[in-house]
Amino acid sequence: MQVREQRAVKQKHAPVNLSVRASAATLFLTSVQRLTEAHGLSFFALQRRGIAVRCRALTDLLPASSMEDVLKQGALEMQRSLATLRQPAEEWSRRWRCPHAEQEQGTQCLTQLALPSALLRLLPDMGITKASEPFSVVGGLPPAMEFWEGCPRNSACLAASSPSLHPLTTICINAIESITEITEDLPLESRVAAAKHALSRQREKKIIYSEQGDGEDNTAKNDASDTTGRRDPAQEPTVRLFLFSPYASYAALYEAVNKSNDSESLFFGGEACEVLLVYICPMTAAGSVGPTTLNDNPEIWGRLRYQQAGDAESATPGNRRGNHDELFFIAATLGDYLRLGSAFSWVYGWQLCYAPQGPPPRSLPWLKLFSPTALSAAISTSL
C-alpha cells in the first residue's frame, strides 16, 4: 500500500513532458481534443470584421478533416500556404532589422527571416493565410445546465438565448503586421534589467557547455567569460521587444465571446498579460543594432502594467495608463513557449505562473484541474 502511494506521489509531481518533435499545431490541437473530450470545452475562433468581432466555431476555421491531417502527419506541409505569408514576413524582417537611417538612404539590408520559424509553421496550419489576420481561439464552458434550467418553464428566462459562455482557455497571437516594436515604450530601467537578465543567462549557458566539454582545458574559455563582466558598457547587449500577444482582462474576453456582434467592440482576444518577443542584440561600435547581429530565435517574456500606489485608478495589471512595468521571463524560444502553453492547457493566465504574483485567482482552480503536473512543476521551480 505504501509503495503504491509513493508511486502515485512520484507520478503526480513528475516533470512536465514537453515534446520537442511535435509541431506547434499538433500540440495545440492535441490540447483541444483532450479538453473537449475530458471536460466538454467548446472552442471558438475570434476574428475581426471591420469594427465588429466575429465568433466562429473552431471547426469553421479549421475543418475536422484538416485537424486529423495535422495530427496524423506530425510534420507540417509548409508548401501548402506558407508562401502567402513568407513575403510579408520578409518585409517585416527588413523593416526593423535595418536602422532607420539606412532605410531612408535606401541601403540594402539583409532580409534573412527574423520571425521565428515556429510561428510561420503554426499560422498556415491553423488556416491563417493573411499577414493581417490574427490567430485567436477561446475555449469555454456554459454554466451548469441544472442551474440554467432551474427556472420555471413558463418564466421569461426561457425566452432568453443560450446561456453565456465562460472562457477558460485562450491562445492569441497578433497578426504578422501587428507584431510591432514597443522597446521605446518601456522605461529605461526595465530594458536595462531585461538585458542584464539575458546576459546572466547566456553566461550560465556558457558555463554549462564548458562543464559538458570533452575534457579539454577550458581555462581560456572561463577566463574569457569572466572578462565579459568587465567589458566596455558600449559592448553590452541590448534588447528589442515586440508585442506578440496583447493583454485582455477577463471581462473583455468574456464580452468578446458572448457579445461578438457588438458593433462598438474593437477587441478580438488576448492573454492575461502582454506576451513579448525579446531579441537580444549585441551593440555595434556606433551604438546601434547592426542588421547582421540579430538572433532569429527570440526569447518570450511577459509584461504587466500597474498603477503606482496612490494613483486615482485601481492597481490592476494590464492598464495601459499604468506607469509601472514589470517584465518576467517565460521561455527561451517560441517553440518552448508553445509547448508550455500546451502543458498548461492554455488556461487563461498560465503565463503568470512565472511571474512573482502567480496566476489569477480565477484561473487557479482550472490549472489544478486541467494541468496539475505543469502547475506543480512551475511552483517547484519558483521556490
Burial of 126 (0-12, 13-18, 19+ CB in 10 A): buried
pLDDT digit string, tens, across residues 281-300 = 765 433 333 334 445 678 99
The pLDDT-based confidence of 136 (bands split at 50, 70, 90) is very high
Residue 99 has pLDDT above 60, yes or no: no
pLDDT digit string, tens, across residues 311-359 = 544 445 544 444 678 899 999 999 999 999 999 999 999 999 999 889 9
What pLDDT sits at residue 207? 59
How much of the chain exceeds pLDDT 70, in percent?
A: 63
Q: Please tell me which residue, 211 or 10, carries the higher pLDDT value.
A: 211
Residue 157 has pLDDT above 60, yes or no: no
The pLDDT-based confidence of 63 (bands split at 50, 70, 90) is confident
pLDDT digit string, tens, across residues 120-132 = 888 888 888 888 8
pLDDT, the chain, mean: 73
What pLDDT sits at residue 236? 60
The region of weakest confidence among 121-135, 144-158, 257-271, 293-307 is 144-158
Grid coordinates given for 221: 574559455
* Type of residue numbered 372: P
What pLDDT sits at residue 306? 75
> Looking at the DSSP assignment, which residues form a beta bridge with residue 274?
303
* Type of residue numbered 334: L
> Looking at the DSSP assignment, which residues form a beta bridge with residue 240?
279
| CA dist 87 → 92, 100, 161, 216 (Å) | 9, 21, 44, 46
What pLDDT sits at residue 95? 76
pTM: 0.77
Residue 364 has pLDDT above 70, yes or no: yes
**What is the three-state SS of the chain?**
CHHHHHHHHHHHCCCCCCCCCCCHHHHHHHHHHHHHHHHCCEEEEEEEECCEEEEEEHHHHCCHHHHHHHHHHCCCCCCCCCHHHHHHHHHHHHHHHCCHHHHHHCCCCCCCCCCCHHHHHHHHHCCCCCCCCCEEEEEEECCCHHHHCCCCCCCHHHHCCCCCCEEEEEEEECCHHHCCECHHHCCHHHHHHHHHHHHHHHHHHHHHHHHCCCCCCCHHHHHHHHHHHHCCHHHCCEEEEEEEECECCHHHHHHHHHCCCCCCCCCCCCECCEEEEEEEECCCCCCCCCCCCCCCCCEEEEEEEECCCCCCCCCCCCCCCCCEEEEEEEECCHHHHHHHHHHCCCECCHHHHHCCCCCCCCCHHHHHHHCHHHHHHHHHHHC
Residue 209 has pLDDT above 80, yes or no: no
What pLDDT sits at residue 34? 92
pLDDT digit string, tens, across residues 18-61 = 556 678 888 899 999 999 999 999 999 988 777 677 888 898 88
How much of the chain exceeds pLDDT 90, in percent?
A: 27
